[in-house]
Structure 1
Amino acid sequence: MATQSAFGFLIETIFNLYLMVILLRIWMQLVKADFYNPLSQFVVKATHPVIGPLRRVIPSLGSLDTASVLFAFAVACLKITVLLLMAGSQLSPQAIIIIGGLTVIKEAFNIVFWVLVIRAILSWVSQGYNPIEAALHQLTEPMLAPIRRVIPSLGGLDLSVLVLLIALQFFQVLLFQQIL
C-alpha cells in the first residue's frame, strides 16, 4: 500500500508540474511576456510538441490560446483518470470532466501563488538583471499595479504582493468551499 501511495505521489507531482508549465504558457501569452526570455523559451519548448499541432486545428479566441487551455484540461482529466486507475476506483466521465476542470483552476491558483512568492524572494536577494526575475515581473505586474495605486509602498516596503497573496487565498478558499 505504501508503494502505491509513493507512486501515486510521484505521478500526481509529474502531472501537476507539467500542468503548471502549460498554465504558465497560457499566462505568458495573455500578458505578452518576452518570447526570447529563457523561461519563456523553456515553457514553449516543453509544451510545443502537443500545443503546436493543436493550434493548427483549434483557433484562438482573441488573446486566449484555446488549444493550450484545452490541452491543460486534457492533462488534468488524464491525471485524474490515471490516479483513479491506480487506486482501482472508477468515476463517471462527467465526474472526471468536472474534477479535471477544478484541477485546472486549483493549479492556476497555485502557479500564481508560487510565481508571486518567488518574485518576492528574488526581489530581496537579486542584484542586477536576472532574466527569470524579468519574466516573473512581466507575469505579475498587471495584477500588482492596480493594488499599488490603492496601497502605496510604506517606507520602501511594497505590500502589493502580500495583499494579492491574501486575496488569492481568500478566493481559492471561497471558490472551493462553495463547490464542495
Structure 2
Amino acid sequence: MNEGMLFLVQTLFSLYIMAIVLRIWLQLARADFFNPLSQFIAKVTNPPLRPLEKVIPSRGRLNLAAVVLGIAVSVVAIYVRVLLVGANPDVLALLIIGVRYFISIVLQVVFWMLIIRAILSWFSRGGNPLEYVLHQLTEPLLRPVRRFIPAIGGLDLSVLFVIIGIQFLRILVGM
C-alpha cells in the first residue's frame, strides 16, 4: 500500500511541477499564448501562481514567481515522500533536495520535448499547433548548436547533441 501511495504522490507532484516548468519555459520563449497547450498550462498553474506574482516580480521574461512555486512544490513533494517512507525530514536537506529535484524535472521536460520534436519531424508536416509550440520552445536550444554542427547529409544532429548535453547535466544533478 505504501509503495502504491508513494508512486501516486510522486507522479502527481511530478506532473504539476512539469506544468510549472512548461509555464516558465513558454514565457521565456515567448511562445504563442493562444495555443491550446499554452492555455492549458496557464489554467492549471494560475491558481497558485497569481497571488505569488503580486509579491514576487518577474525579471525580464523570467517569471520568478513560477520558479519559486516550482521549487516550493518540489520541496513539498520531497517532504511528502519522506513522510510516507517514515523518515524524519531535515529542513535544509529538504530544501537542497527539492532544488535538485526541480532542476532534474526541468532537464527531464527539456529532454522529452526534444525527443517528441525529433519524432514528430519524421512524420508530421508542421500543421499541428502542438508542433508549432514545440518548435518555439526547442529552437532557442538548438540554434546555437547548429552554428557549430551543421546538418550532415541533410540530417540535423543538433537535437542529438543537445540531448547528450542534457543527459550529462542530469547525471551531474544526480536525480
Calculate the TM-score normalised by the size of structure 2: 0.96
Deviation at 1:62, TM superposition (A): 2.1
Q: Distance in 2 between matches of 1:38 and 1:175?
A: 32
Q: Distance in 2 between matches of 1:128 and 1:146?
A: 22
Structure 1: which 5+ runs fail to align? none
Aligned CA-pair RMSD: 1.3
Counterpart pick for 1:43 among 41, 44, 53: 41
Q: Report the AA paired with residue 172 of structure 1.
A: R
Q: Distance in 1 between matches of 2:170 and 2:72?
A: 22
Identity, % of aligned pairs? 50
Match of 1:23 in 2: 21
Q: Report the AA paired with residue 73 of structure 1.
A: I
Q: Report the AA paired with residue 98 of structure 2.
A: G
Match of 1:82 in 2: 80
Equivalent positions of 1:1-180 (< 5 A) are: 3-176=1-174
Q: Distance in 2 between matches of 1:102 and 1:154?
A: 36
Q: Report the AA paired with residue 76 of structure 1.
A: S
Deviation at 1:128, TM superposition (A): 4.0
**4+ residue runs over 4 A deviation:** none
Deviation string, structure 1 residues 138-165 (Cα, Å, up to 9, x no partner)? 0000010111111111222111100100
- Are the aligned partners of 2:117 and 2:135 in contact in 1 as well (CA < 8 Å)? yes
Q: Distance in 2 between matches of 1:159 and 1:118?
A: 15
Q: Distance in 2 between matches of 1:59 and 1:174?
A: 30
Secondary structure of the residue aligned to 1:155 is coil
Q: Distance in 1 between matches of 2:80 and 2:174?
A: 23
Larger mean Cα displacement after TM superposition, 168-177 or 80-89: 168-177
Deviation at 1:4, TM superposition (A): 0.8
Q: Distance in 2 between matches of 1:87 and 1:43?
A: 31
- Are the aligned partners of 2:146 and 2:158 in contact in 1 as well (CA < 8 Å)? yes
Q: Distance in 1 between matches of 2:75 and 2:132?
A: 33
Size of the aligned set, in residue pairs, is 175
Larger mean Cα displacement after TM superposition, 168-177 or 98-107: 168-177
Larger mean Cα displacement after TM superposition, 74-83 or 56-65: 56-65
